[in-house]
Amino acid sequence: MQNFRNFDLAPSEQSGSPGTSYASTNELVDFKKEEIEQSIPDRFELQVNRYPNHLAVKSENFRLTYDELNGVANRVARTVLAQRGPGEEPIALLFEHDVPVIIAILGTLKAGKAYVGLNPSHPQDRLAYMLEDLEAGLLITNNKNFALASEVAHNKCQLLNIDDLDHTNISDQNLGLSMSPDTLASIIYTSGSTGRPKGVMRNHRSILQRIWYDTNDYPISAKDCLSMLYSFSFGTSKTDIFGAMLNGATLVPYDFRKLGPNPLANWLIKEEITFLHPLIMLFRQFMDTLTEGENFPKLRMIALSGQPLYKRDVERFRRYFSRDCLMIHRMGSSETAGVGCLHINRETVITNDIIPIGYALEGREILILNDIGQPVGFNQAGEIAIRSRYLAPGYWQKPDLTEAKFLADPEGGDQRIYLTGDLGRLSPDGCLEHLGRKDFQVKIRGYRVELREIEAILYSLDIVKESVVVAYEDQSGDKRLVAYIVPSGQPSSIITTLRSVLTEKLPDYMVPSSFIILDEMPLTTTGKVNRLALPMPERVRPELAEAFVAPQTPTEKTLAGIWSEVLHIEPIGIHDNFFELGGQSLLAAQVISRILNTFQVSLSLQTLFAAPIIAGLAVLITQSQTDVVEDEELANLLDELEQLSEEEVQRLLAQA
């Protein structure tokens, strides 16, 4: 348990719990539309006054009521102001997926600053670039991440360790700062087309308007308990964080990257989660772990986003979850803070294999434009554009890109139009169907990825002459990245080198699962790469530095079959590295889940990261099975001894 004296908190068992110690009513409290025109701290402090003893955030290490959370956030805010002074500016936050980051976010906002999330699992080069691009004057972190923060800051900005604050001399009272809803609240970095990530700015009004919509549409109230599955550096996390904090609900982080899908069902039941917000791919993996024996009595909403939703996903949802649970399919981006959504229950009629996005969120109008920017008719394809006064202000330090993507409304007024780069069509009743990306930007595992960013890194290597990265949909319906490479020299062992370089520079979701070596790129008549003529990836083992050694034992052969099904590659040798074959964290979770079902052996996700070859895993499985057998034999022996009479026991002892 974390040392709570650092935060001047009461012991965790004295804090509130969901549904027990908050306000006298469990009914939904209206979030009025005029309340959008304020600041996030104003709305949060209203919840503190309403529900001071209600549990705000909890994890294995922390439990904070609204009053406790508000107090420690106020201290962080006063420290930020003491170091930086008043005025808007971006403040970088570097934290693990746990409660301290919520303290830092609220403290930053209360100081009138904008928070920028840095994910400690991302490569240091990426983190350092973001700090440089921000021209950040302050980086807030804690003991757990202080060493990394010092490295990426390179003495170019101040550091604030919230674990070192002297809380005895810092007031925990509200600061009372007056902030316009136009004040910058956050910057979310997404993949960039120039080979560098770009920062999307969000003000208080745009975040509040989205939470206002969610609060009244879903609805969300103080009796809810929301999951937080994503890193706070991911734009979608705002829905979870502020959906809870601005409604008096409880927020509970779950580190999917670390824990995987297997413990999720028990966690949802134990924590009494009412609102689950997974990416669609994550949700599919979660459903793979279910047996129909689970019961989720509190879960009433599952909101899905990040990639296409299919009819079979809805059928599985109806199979595993109660009639009282609602599925919500939605689409959005950091620039739009939401586009549309569709509510799906038992009575919803599904006629097509691909589920539509649904209908425009209030405060947004969906337009479908042709190549010259003119609206098209119903059921005609074109680029999806969003007209609203709640769009992001633009891109940090990129006025030209902002001007190209955010257009003035030709009808005048305070609305603008954002060009999404997505293709779609509208039905006469206003339902939106998504048809994919207009450019080379794709979504991989729910993350928006610009393929040119990956290509730019490959082009920077001396061993690469040309490269093209393409997203293909595999047999399961998930998108995977494939890199086509024309090497500048001999291709021997180049794939191992390329994967190693990309892993050091990019998050794992941006590392291609397959590399295909070509003699030359196919070209169009205009001299551009003909992407349609690129060969389809095959289920063939790539050329690796490690020599192929076939599986020998039954366990090795079974494991090779599991890997082949998950990776869509064959054959697989017992010394092949799972990650060099294109594996990543979500696929690793699938492997661990199948090992559990096949061998009845429970291994942690970290096991595969530590022993990513079949030979090593086979040994661990055999040892685990032996331990289980020995435990059963000992239990049977004890049962037999308990059945013996005292005379029989004495006779056996004498014989011994």
pLDDT given at position 17: 32
Residue 169 lies in a domain: no
Q: Which two tokens stand for residue 517?
A: 């070596």
Task: Indicate whether 527 and 606 sit together in one domain.
Answer: no
**Beta-sheet strands, E only, within 340-474:** 340-344, 359-360, 365-369, 382-388, 394-395, 406-408, 416-426, 432-437, 441-444, 447-450, 464-473
Residue 224 lies in a domain: no
Domain of residue 558 covers 554-635
Q: What is the CATH number of the domain that holds 595?
A: 1.10.1200.10
Angle (nearest 5°) at CA 257 between 145 and 109: 50
The number of residues making up the chain comes to: 656
pLDDT given at position 646: 52
Structure confidence by residue, pLDDT tens digits, 364-379: 999 999 989 999 999 9
Count Cβ atoms within 10 A of the Cβ of residue 503 and give its class: 0-12 exposed, 13-18 middle, 19 or more buried.
Answer: middle
Q: What is the CATH number of the domain that holds 476?
A: 3.30.300.30
Query: How many angstroms separate the CA atoms of 76 and 106, rounded?
Result: 9
**Among 3-7, 516-520, 528-532, the least confident range:** 3-7
The count of structural domains within the chain is 2
Residue 472 lies in a domain: yes
Q: Write the CB contacts of 301 (distance below 8 Å, at least 6 apart in sequence).
A: 218, 274, 275, 276, 325, 326, 328
Residue 596 Cα distances to 266, 535, 590, angstroms: 16, 36, 10
Q: What is the pTM of this model?
A: 0.77
Residue 586 lies in a domain: yes
- pLDDT interval class at 648 (50, 70, 90): low
Q: Write the CB contacts of 321 (distance below 8 Å, at least 6 apart in sequence).
A: 296, 299, 302
Residue 345 lies in a domain: no
Helical spans, DSSP H, in 577-613: 585-599, 605-610
Task: Indicate whether 584 and 528 sit together in one domain.
Answer: no
Q: Is the pLDDT of residue 499 over 90?
A: no
Query: How many angstroms separate the CA atoms of 441 and 191, rounded?
Result: 9
Task: Indicate whether 625 and 565 sit together in one domain.
Answer: yes
272 SS3 class: coil
**Under 8 Å between Cβ of 406 and 416:** yes
**Under 8 Å between Cβ of 489 and 463:** yes
Structure confidence by residue, pLDDT tens digits, 600-646: 887 878 888 888 888 888 888 888 877 654 555 445 544 554 555 55
**Among 298-302, 441-445, 485-489, 534-538, the least confident range:** 441-445
Residue, of 520 and 178, whose pLDDT is higher: 178
Which of 396, 33, 457 is CA-nearest to residue 213?
Answer: 33
Task: Indicate whether 518 and 599 sit together in one domain.
Answer: no
- pLDDT interval class at 543 (50, 70, 90): low
Which of 261, 278, 115 is CA-nearest to residue 586?
Answer: 261
Residue 432 lies in a domain: no
Q: Name the one residue in this structure whose structure tokens are 């061998």.
A: 599
Last residue of a domain, one of 474, 501, 533: 533
Task: Indicate whether 456 and 516 sit together in one domain.
Answer: yes
Residue 179 lies in a domain: no
